[in-house]
Structure 1
Amino acid sequence: MKHIFPFVIILIAIFVYACANQGTPSGGPRDTIPPLLLESNPTDKTINFDGKEFSFEFNERINADKLKQKLIITPFTENPYKFKVKKNDLYIEFEEKFEDSTTYTFNFADGVVDVTEKNPVENFSIAFSTGPFLDSISISGRITNLYTNENIDKATIAVYSIKDTLDILTGKPRYFAQTDTSGTYRIENIKNGYYKIYAFEDANNNLKCEPDEESHGFIQDSVNLNTSQENLDIKIQLLNITPLKMVRSKKTGQYFDVLYNKYIENYKIKKADSTNQLDIPINNIIKGRTTLRFYYDSLYTYDTDSLQLIISAQDTVYNQIQDTVYIQFSESKRKPEKLNSSLLPTDKSNIDPTFNMTFSFTKPITQFTIDSMTYQYDTLYKYTFVDSVATWNENRTELTLINTLDKYFLQQQVDSLRNTLIDTTQLVSDSIALDSITQFKVNYLNKIKTEQVYMNFPHGTFITIDQDTVEQFTRFYSFKDSENFGKVSGQVTTQVPQYILQLVNDKYKVISELQNAKTFTFSYIKPGKYTFRILIDDNQDGAWEHGSMLQNQQEESIYFYPELFDIRANWEIENIEITF
């Protein structure tokens, strides 16, 4: 009996502990049924509402920890509120009453869930009016990426009355909503009127667009919402549309710099006084195209001569500014900035027989010796470049060489030399052996890599305005082997006069493009998945334009070929029909 008593005590302790630590029962099917709204005060579609308090009763216990992040109230209001949850009930209390004669919508999204499996209340929203009727206008549409046509999830649609002076850059919208995973949106209970409609990816959830960080788009014309409208689709893109500004102008060592706050697409310079005898100094854009640099001209006397210039600059979104600047130079012991250069294609690239080489320099080139540049097939055949293949940009900071090479030239020469060494008419199987010297020569020819070409650029080929130069370098290239690549060809049927046909991969990276082509062939394409994208030049000015919200300029049209296709090595896809 003594031994049984302690055992009974232990069993009782275990039982008591188990009863005190009850949790969610394990096992059984997972609860997937969301809470059900049983009653609300006010009820949905209430009119003449004059209160500040709201209550909602559900059929099970709820959690609303994320309500502040999830609840969307339209029209937008700065009216603060508090909320609390008591078992099955949610209570919300606002500090102030709502604007008179206005229809409001509360969209809770997934801000209210059950306490066990976090199933959100489905379609949880209510509408009420502080006036005698509910506004009934609705809009809907789809938000997509301009360049990929992909649906945008959680994009914000922002609706502003044209009576307001606000937009997505300057203030929060009157009505707003977010897209679902299919990129679609719907906003209800909008008051009749004219509105501007925008869309953007509100990464920081402040209901204002940061244009250099958040993709955005808009509908160009104001929309008359006297009736509900569907298919109000918007394409969004990332564009830095912040205003272009000149930050300052200053002497930098022996240079004179004009600094801007963002990328400069192009610029023009003229003298304020055309009778001034001083020349406009040589100049170019540096530092990510944000700084306009002027280089010292010996006609200028240090710290004495100055030239007043009018500089017109434009960024990539068509913002234009004009500034007046006085150029002056000072003598400096500071060393000239280092010359940097690059060449495309990069070393050891695979090339087509016809290809462009592009040299880029951080300083203007004032002396250029083209006949010192050579290209070679092995060590046997060397050729110099000629002036007709070279083209400089306006500031002489970029050189393009248009090359047309003979892919089979070296192989033909090697075959000819081999045939000269070997008299095939005298060889019958292995009955006649080559002498050792001839065999050595044949073996050497057999080892030559006939598919390669290399370019030589000696020291002193390029000399800059600062009298520095690019050191000697060599680039090796190999011709593409058609057996390792594919080809695609077809026809374009359209009434559109001007467009750009682009072959893009499955990430929408441009592989190659043609202008206004009615038939097309894209050769030497790496195996992979591809499709077509057509940029349509709607205004027929010779360039496709991405538009600008600040200029109220809509982007030009894009057509997406509906199929993704596989290109395989040593294979051609023919007779593709593109119709738009």
Structure 2
Amino acid sequence: MKSIKALLFLIFIQAVLVSCAKQSSPTGGPRDEDPPKLIESNPKDQSLNTKPEQIKLTFDEFVALENANKGVVITPRIDKDKIEFTALKNTVLVNLNQDLEDSTTYVFDFQKAVVDLSEKNPAENLKIVFSTGTSIDSLNISGNINFYYPENKEDYKNVLVGVYPLTDTTDVFTAQPYYLGQVDTLGNFNISNVKNGSYKAYAWRDLNGNLKGESKSEDYDFMLDTIFLESDISGIQFNLSKADLTPIRIIRSAATGKNFDIVLNRNPIESSVKNQDVGKNYFFSTSDKRIRIYSKTAVKDSIAFNISVLDSVGFKKDTLIWGKFPESERKPEKLETSINSGKNFYQNLEIELKFNKPIQAVNFDSLYIQYDTASIIKINEKMVNFSDSSRMDLLKINLIIPDSITKEILTLRAADSTFIDIEGQYNDKKIEANYRKLKRENLADEIKGQILNARPPFIVQLIDNKDEVLREIYVDKGNHYSFKLVEPGTFKIRVIEDLNGNKRWDPSNFIQKRHAERVFYFKGEEEKSEIILRGGWTLEDQDINASRKTGKN
């Protein structure tokens, strides 16, 4: 019996010792709200003439590391893949595993990577600066970040600013920067301890954490001018937006059934197919990185078409392609239709029907607007038009609804077989779409103002609380804008400075060294962008200040 008790006692003691030896968060007691404090570092902050193989940090409590490989910002450029970060009790070790450059100031900014073990409070202002030479570089580069198309809540998380020596042949898309800075929660950045010299500068949202920009998926911007750094530089502005730099190209082309397909590597924003019979015997449509050419009849010989496609950043591809339109037993695709149902309107009713294929005929006898059980408005040829005669796939219906029609809901109706496409397919189901007629007394009268510190032409957009463009006007002269008879609600106003006059926003093109067209928003009191409109209201002097241009202002 005594031997059993002795054995149990030994097991208990061993368990206690193991528990004491294990590094873990303490339980119970008051919440620890104090961040860990640095007691000692080796090398010491601001040290000169040192080339450490390891950096050792000692704190006043047990600590842990949170995503150190991404969270610790090291400048100038160093091979971060070779670095090993370790946290043990109250010590953080950084094994560099590489040689440092001569006469160079290094900055290890730990940001929020070092936290206490219990409550994960990050160490504050934890930065170690040392030089392998006889002096510490002390110049600063600072500025601000803006998004042309911001999210509902400004989020600067993962936004970086990188600086490259002018002699460096790499850039933000090919290599990590020589100097690197993290943007704070207010959109400001500061890169410290930079050596005097000439530099290129970039900013980007580093979503994948590889410290390089990805034009296909990440917002970015770049300075066109060189930074000549002889003293501190402040006030640099970056305006981030997406711009895919992959040039558009044709991957392949081939007959598909009776039609001819041209497959692209990306969707174009503009496309044209030309020969003397396009719009008569041949029509085309675009969808899902594809241009499909349709022929009314089978053709024995190959037909030449001039193909032109333009992508979002301005890369263009022009080529001559020979299309084939053979006889085929392949069953044609069904005719499909999408329609802008659910829109509200006052007097001017604009209806759009988008088809997946060109339309060759419309049966107007079965196309009409119904506003009560016994009353209809017949749709005739004068009320409709196709936006592009070479495509014939977007049908627009425009008509004015008189005030004498007091019904709130109007319904577009099209029976089955109302539309026939170029392949002889009819819509096999009836089409219905509802539109709501607004009452004049419920509308806001007007919202108007001026656009300041920019030059026309402007695209001015009224955006609803779903971030959708409700109304759009084009101001080609002057700087005044106005939206009249607006449905009550909460809105934003966005302005695009359309300098080239093509009536769309053009993103940046890094290869062509061209900045994106400026995009800016109305900002009211306390920099709030929302505008509340009530029925009968008129809002004047809603002036919109242009955002700063990219660069040193």
1:141-194 CA-partner distances (Å, limit 9, x unpaired): 222321238352221222233333322322222222222222222111223333
| Partner amino acid, structure 2, of 1:455 | L
Please state whether the residue corresponding to 1:68 is helix, strand or coil: helix
Give, in whole Å, the separation in 2 of the partners of 1:171 and 1:146: 25
Kept after mapping to 1: 8 A contact 2:56/2:93: yes
Give SS of 1:294's match: strand
Equivalent position of 1:326 in the other structure: 322
User: Could you list the runs of 4 or more consecutive aligned residues of structure 1 that deviate by over 6 angstroms after TM superposition?
Assistant: 15-23, 277-281
16-25 or 485-494, which moves further after superposition?
Answer: 16-25
Aligned to 1:473: 431
8 Å Cα contact 2:273/2:306 also seen in 1: yes
- How do residues 277-356 of structure 1 correspond to structure 2 at under 5 angstroms? 282-288=282-288, 290-298=289-297, 300-301=299-300, 305-344=301-340, 346=341, 349-356=343-350
Task: State the partner residue of 1:415.
Answer: none
Deviation at 1:556, TM superposition (A): 1.9
1:215 is aligned, of 210, 219, 223, to 219
Task: State the SS of the aligned residue for 1:197.
Answer: strand
2:370 equivalent to 1:366: no
TM-aligned CA deviation for residue 107 of structure 1: 1.1
Tell me if the contact between 2:261 and 2:290 (Cα under 8 Å) persists in the aligned partners.
yes
* Change beyond 3 A, Cα 1:194–1:509: farther
Mapped to 2, the partners of 1:281 and 1:164 lie a distance apart of 56
**Could you tell me which amino acid in structure 2 is paired with residue 75 of structure 1?**
P
Partners of 2:226 and 2:53 in 1: CA distance: 34
Distance 2:283 2:212 in 1: 39
Question: How much does 1:91 deviate?
Answer: 2.9
- The equivalent of 1:446 in structure 2 is none
Q: Report how far residue 83 of structure 1 moved.
A: 4.2
User: Is the Cα–Cα contact under 8 Å of residues 317 and 548 in structure 1 kept in the other structure?
Assistant: yes
Contact 2:285–2:293 under 8 Å retained in 1: no
Pick from 514, 517, 535 the counterpart of residue 556 of structure 1: 517
Can you list the C-alpha shifts for 1:178-227, whole angstroms capped at 9, x where unaligned? 22222222111223333332222222211223333222222233333333
**2:69 counterpart SS class:** helix
**Structure 2: distance between partners of 1:383 and 1:31:** 73
Equivalent residue number for residue 234 of structure 2: 230
TM-score by length of 2: 0.83
Cα drift, residue 358 of structure 1: 0.9
Structure 2 residue 529 is the aligned partner of structure 1 residue 525: no
**Structure 2: distance between partners of 1:257 and 1:121:** 60
Q: Does 1:54 align with 2:55?
A: yes
- Root mean square deviation of aligned Cα: 3.4
Q: Secondary structure at the match of 1:328?
A: strand
In the alignment, which of 172, 175, 188 is matched to residue 171 of structure 1?
175
Structure 2 partner of 1:135: 137
- Maintained 8 Å contact 2:461/2:470: yes
Cα distance in 1 for partners of 2:308, 2:483 equals 41
Contact 1:392–1:398 under 8 Å retained in 2: yes
Alpha-carbon separation, structure 2, partners of 1:543 and 1:81: 47
Structure 2 counterpart SS, 1:306 = strand
Structure 2 Cα separation of the partners of residues 455 and 62 of structure 1? 67
Residue 505 of structure 1: how far off its partner (Å)? 3.4
Deviations 1:268-291 (A, max 9, x none): 3456xx9xx999962423333x11
Change (3 A) 1:403 1:34: same
- Indicate if the aligned counterparts of 1:144 and 1:151 stay in contact, CA closer than 8 A: no
Distance (Å, rounded) in 2 between the aligned partners of 1:461 and 1:511: 30
Which amino acid letter does the alignment assign opposite residue 421 of structure 2? Answer: T
Equivalent residue, structure 1, for 2:506: 545
1:491 has 2:449 as partner:
yes
Structure 1 position 392, deviation (Å): 1.4
Contact 1:109 1:124 in 2 (8 A): yes
In the superposition, relative to structure 1, how do residues 383 and 114 fare at CA in structure 2: closer, same or farther (>3 Å)?
closer
Is the alpha carbon distance of 1:512 and 1:278 closer, same or farther for their aligned partners in structure 2, counting shifts above 3 Å?
A: closer
For 2:448, the aligned partner's letter is: G
Task: Tell me how far apart the structure 1 counterparts of residues 118 and 408 of structure 2 sit (CA, whole Å).
Answer: 68
**AA of the residue aligned to 2:356:** T
What does 1:440-479 align with in structure 2 at a 5 Å threshold? Answer: 450-471=407-428, 472-479=430-437
Pick aligned residue for 1:245 from 249, 272, 275: 249
Give the direction of change, closer, same or farther, for the CA distance of 1:489–1:310 in structure 2 (3 Å limit).
Answer: closer
Give the Cα separation in 2 of the matches to 1:569 and 1:388: 36
What TM-score do the two structures reach when normalised by structure 1?
0.80
Equivalent pair of 1:196/1:223 in contact (CA under 8 Å):
yes
Aligned pairs for 1:146-157 within 5 A:
146-148=148-150, 150-157=154-161
Is 1:409 equivalent to 2:366 in the alignment? no
- Structure 1: give runs of 5+ residues left out of the alignment: 1-8, 412-449
Distance 2:231 2:282 in 1: 60
1:573 deviation in Å?
4.1
Matching residue within 188, 206, 209 for 1:205: 209
Q: Which of 184, 187, 190 is the equivalent residue of 1:186? A: 190
* Between structures 1 and 2, the one with greater strand share: 2
Return closer, same or farther for 1:70/1:151 CA change in 2, 3 Å cut-off.
closer
**Separation (CA, whole Å) in 1 of partners of 2:542 and 2:147:** 25
Q: What is the deviation of 1:65? A: 5.8
Structure with more relative contact order (C-alpha pairs < 8 Å, separation 6 or more): 2
Do the aligned residues in 1 keep the contact of 2:346 with 2:440 (CA within 8 Å)?
A: no
Alignment CA distance shift 1:65-1:390 (3 Å)? closer
1-side partners of 2:121 and 2:509: how far apart?
42
User: Is the partner of 1:76 in helix, strand or coil?
Assistant: coil
| Aligned match for 1:119, one of 107, 121, 145 | 121
Conserved 8 A contact 2:487-2:535: no
Q: Name the residue aligned to 1:433.
A: none
Cα distance, 1:154–1:43 mapped onto 2, change above 3 Å:
same
Distance verdict in 2 for CA 1:259–1:239, change over 3 Å:
same
| Contact 2:463 2:491 (8 Å CA) reproduced | yes
Check the 8 A contact 1:153/1:182 in 2, yes or no. no
Is the contact made by 1:215 and 1:236 (CA closer than 8 Å) also made in structure 2?
A: yes
Conserved in 2, the CA contact under 8 Å of 1:145 and 1:152?
no
- Which residue of 500, 512, 515 corresponds with 2:474? 515
Partners of 2:115 and 2:532 in 1: CA distance: 48
* Partner Cα distance (1:281, 1:223) in 2: 58
Identity %: 28
CA distance in 2, matches of 1:511, 1:284: 29
SS of the residue 2:540 aligns to: strand
The residue type paired with residue 176 of structure 1 is: L
Q: How far, CA to CA, are the matches of 1:321 and 1:410 in structure 2?
A: 51
Aligned position for 1:434: none
Task: Provide Cα deviations, 1:435-477, integer angstroms capped at 9, x if missing partner.
Answer: xxxxxxxxxxxxxxx3343333344443221111224434343
Q: Would the aligned equivalents of 2:139 and 2:195 in 1 still touch at CA under 8 Å?
A: yes
2:550 counterpart residue number:
none
Greater Rg, structure 1 or structure 2? 1
Whether the aligned pair in 2 keeps the contact of 1:487 and 1:567 (CA below 8 Å) is no
| Whole-angstrom CA distance in 2 between matches of 1:565 and 1:308 | 53
